[in-house]
Amino acid sequence: MLRAHTSDHADVVIIGAGIAGLSAAHQLISAGVDVSVLEAAAHPGGRMATDDVDGFRLDRLGPLLSSACPELGSTPGLDGLVLRDFAPGVLVHSEGRQYLAGDVRSARGALRAVRSRPSAPHAPLGGAIEQARLGAWLARLAGAPESRIAARPDGAALDALPARGLPPRVVDGFLRPLLSALLADPGLTTSSRTADLALRDYARGRLCVPSGGSATLPGLLAAALPPGTVRTGVHVTAADITSVRTKEHGELGCRSLLLATGAGAAAELLPGLRTPAFHPVTVLHHTTAQAPPTGARLLLDADRSGPVAHTAVMSEVDPSRAPHGRVLITSTVLGPPPPDLDDAVRAHLAALYGTPTDDWELLAAHHDPEAVPAMPPPHDPRRPVRLLAGLYVCGDHRDTSTVQGALRSGTRAASAILADLGVRRPQADGTGLPTAA
């Protein structure tokens, strides 16, 4: 029998109210299972956090999502999610100039984009023909089934790039900086299959961000849960299948336990779980009087001439992140940050945008040493979420280290729990509600 929820018992206790735990909670509750989500922090959302500073909405992370990611549309609770698209293609900065590349609306679009800008004698991205080849290559990748990419041999992304059939200038001037940004991995040690799938998502959709900041996404998930489901400020110190111990509220009994913390905290609670290496990420936000003229495009540094991997005038992409008439520039440093972070970033941004930055005001800088779990080859994007009946684990470290992977791992964990509890998922016609257990 499924039991009713009390303050000291729930059928399923979920530790962690990041997007993985919240999406699992949704799917369990909509199947009639009683769930309690325990979150150590004061707010749900985990790594998808946004701070309010003087009317600016400042993401602690700078997630680059793809509008092609099916989970953004299909995860229950996310119906109200508004995504703000970057302009098509990316601007690549190399040898002192900006180039538009990778507009995959069509190969002809890529060609036009290049013709509309003067080409340097030795344009690092190559000429119009190379751009057209890139457009056609991305269009082919967009149409490739996921199963075909998943069946490719796996190696480090950096080693696999030369075999992709594109001119070295396009690989170095476009693919490498774009993939580094998408994977938060400056050395491209990530599995080549995972990298190909990330590029496929890029080619199939538009780069985008949640309107109002990345916290909007978990905020929607949390708000759509029954009141009292998420208990914040509750830090779990020990856990087993039938109970969890908390720092603040004693013990809580359960029938099943879902560990939905990040990889490090999961391994602390459940010794034996593998802790991956991590890619550190630092995100900086500046404001200035006049927006640099890049519009709503992502600007990548192909030359690695400073600490910034990518940057954008975020108030052009998502005007709701800045007070009316104000400018917000969000920049990302991948890997360990330099000791003189503010000065080094400011100088690099001056070169990238081609404008003085001395009077830019730094609004915030946030460093996360465990931002993104590394995904070296061979990477299994469907690591088991069921450890044994009654004990489950989800989060980006069980899938791909992305928003998409975290949501998908939550769905997989919810399915495993429902199967073990003998509960069928509700169907659209209302059948399939709890049957047993």
Ligand X SMILES: Cc1cc2nc3c(=O)[nH]c(=O)nc-3n(C[C@H](O)[C@H](O)[C@H](O)COP(=O)(O)OP(=O)(O)OC[C@H]3O[C@@H](n4cnc5c(N)ncnc54)[C@H](O)[C@@H]3O)c2cc1C
CB of 222 to ligand X, least distance (A): 11
Task: Kindly state the DSSP code that residue 36 receives in the 8-state scheme.
Answer: E
Q: Which of 14, 35, 64, 352 binds ligand X (CB under 6 A)?
A: 64
Nearer to ligand X, 184 or 312 (CB): 184
Identity at 200, one-letter amino acid code: R
Q: Which of 177, 262, 381, 390 binds ligand X (CB under 6 A)?
A: 262
- Which window, 96-104, 256-264, 321-329, 351-359, contacts ligand X (CB under 6 A)? 256-264
Q: How far is Cα 349 from Cα 315, in angstroms, rounded to an integer? A: 16
Pick from 215, 261, 209: nearest CA to 234: 261
Q: How far is Cα 240 from Cα 15, in angstroms, rounded to an integer? A: 11
Strands 35-39 and 230-232: parallel
Question: Is 27 exposed, middle or buried, given 0-12, 13-18 or 19+ CB atoms closer than 10 A?
Answer: buried
Nearer to ligand X, 126 or 205 (CB): 205
Considering only residues 1 through 60, tell me which ones interact with ligand X, judged by CB under 6 A.
Answer: 15-21, 38-41, 46-48
CB of 132 to ligand X, least distance (A): 28
CB of 53 to ligand X, least distance (A): 17
Residue 162 dihedral angles phi and psi, to the nearest 5°: -60, -20
- 149: contact with ligand X by CB under 6 A: no
Name beta bridge partners: 56: 53
- Which window, 62-70, 249-257, 333-341, 374-382, contacts ligand X (CB under 6 A)? 62-70
Considering only residues 392 through 421, tell me which ones interact with ligand X, judged by CB under 6 A.
Answer: 395-396, 401-404, 406
Q: How far is Cα 256 from Cα 235, in angstroms, rounded to an integer? A: 18
Pick from 153, 151, 144, 157: nearest CA to 187: 157
Six-digit token string for 283: 């995100």
| CB 312 within 8 Å of CB 294 | yes
Nearer to ligand X, 110 or 209 (CB): 209
- 318: contact with ligand X by CB under 6 A: no
- 235: contact with ligand X by CB under 6 A: yes
Task: Kindly state the DSSP code that residue 62 receives in the 8-state scheme.
Answer: -
**How far is residue 431 from each of residues 1, 2, 220, 424, 428, measured CA to CA in Å?**
19, 18, 26, 9, 7
Residues binding ligand X: what is the number (CB under 6 A)? Answer: 38
User: In angstroms, how far is the first alpha carbon of the chain from the final one?
Assistant: 5
CB of 72 to ligand X, least distance (A): 10
CB of 198 to ligand X, least distance (A): 9
CB of 136 to ligand X, least distance (A): 26
- Which window, 160-168, 203-211, 259-267, 310-318, contacts ligand X (CB under 6 A)? 259-267
Q: Which of 90, 166, 283, 327 binds ligand X (CB under 6 A)?
A: 283
Binding site for ligand X (CB under 6 A): 15-21, 38-41, 46-48, 61-65, 184, 235-236, 260-262, 265, 281, 283, 368, 371-372, 395-396, 401-404, 406
